[in-house]
Amino acid sequence: MAKQDRAIRTRQTILRAAAKIFEEYGYEATTISEILAEAGVTKGALYFHFQSKEQLAQGVLNEQDSGFIIPARACKVQEIVDASMLHAYRLQTDPMVRASVRLSMDQRATSLDRAGPFRRWSELAQDLLDQAQAQGELLPHITTKETANVIVGAFGGVQSMSQALSDYSDLLDRVSDLMRLLLPSVAQPSVIASLHMSASRGAEVYEEAVRLTKEHEAALLSKGMVQLDHLAPKTA
């Protein structure tokens, strides 16, 4: 168990170092040597976990939408808001998430599967919209797959604009505005009236998500289960 724990810590050290370098220089300009220097590990340790720069970048990409439990809500439209605000908050505060987003938007990184995070977020949004539709939260004309793609695409545009204009400092305000303007065309008026969409929502959901994630990991450990990789985004 101790050996396995060390391997997990080493892997995360390498990923954090790679995230720092990828965010600073982009995929093409980053070298394995720079990542090794930042991580402070041997070349053998790095190649034990990741066989190439591409695998390292893919590992960072996969961290964008993993590791946190999105708190479940009775109102599934609120859960969509919360997932969006949580991601925005993590973009402001988590270097790993920022690096992952930079890689996903890097058009020069042609060898990477940059579509993965977009697909996973669209699938999550559609699942929540399907649940919302079943509960009567949505307007009658809504098609959940199309709506999910629009929400994820609009968020992507807003985050890019925020990064260019303010290095994400205004992202929570921009995402709050996006939700406030977009969701009335999706959800029933009674649902809209009940939603919490303020910019402060991101920090609130983050604190709850951290608590839920720690409880989940403690439960896994108590059952003798070790988490080798972060979990994909899911609801509690």
163-211 pLDDT, tens digit each: 999 999 999 999 999 999 999 999 999 999 999 999 999 999 999 999 9
Spatial neighbors of 102 by CB under 8 A, at least 6 apart, are: 22, 23, 26
Enter the pTM of the model: 0.83
Residue 125 or residue 23, greater confidence: 125
Q: What is the pLDDT of residue 215?
A: 85
Residue 156 has a pLDDT of 94
Q: Look over the chain and give the mean of its residue pLDDT values, rounded to a whole number.
A: 89
At 66, list the tokens.
């993993």
The secondary structure of residue 235, as a DSSP letter, is E
Percent of the chain with pLDDT over 70: 92
Q: Which of 11-25, 97-111, 119-133, 135-149 has the lowest mean pLDDT?
A: 97-111
* Confidence tier at 234 by pLDDT (50, 70, 90): very low
| Encoded tokens for 93 | 């505060």
pLDDT at residue 217, rounded to an integer: 76
Distance CA 231, CA 117 (A): 13
Confidence of residue 232 (pLDDT cuts 50, 70, 90): very low
Specify burial of residue 213 (Cβ count, 10 A radius: 0-12, 13-18, 19+). Answer: middle
Interhelix angle 76-93/95-105, nearest 10 degrees: 100
Assess whether pLDDT exceeds 50 at residue 218.
yes
Mean pLDDT score, 42-52: 93
In this structure, are residues 89 and 98 in contact, taking their beta carbons and an 8 Å threshold?
Answer: no
Any idea what the Cα angle at residue 43 is, between residues 38 and 44, rounded to 5°? 135
DSSP class per residue in 164-219: HHHTTTTHHHHHHHHHHHHGGGTB-HHHHHH----TTHHHHHHHHHHHHHHHHHHH
Ordered structural domains, the chain, with CATH: 2-62 (1.10.10.60), 69-235 (1.10.357.10)
Q: Does pLDDT of 65 surpass 70?
A: no
Question: pLDDT confidence of 231, banded at 50, 70, 90?
Answer: very low
Residue environment code for 52-61, b if the CB has 16+ CB neighbours within 10 A, otherwise e: ebeebbbbbb
Q: What is the pLDDT, as a whole number, of residue 160?
A: 93
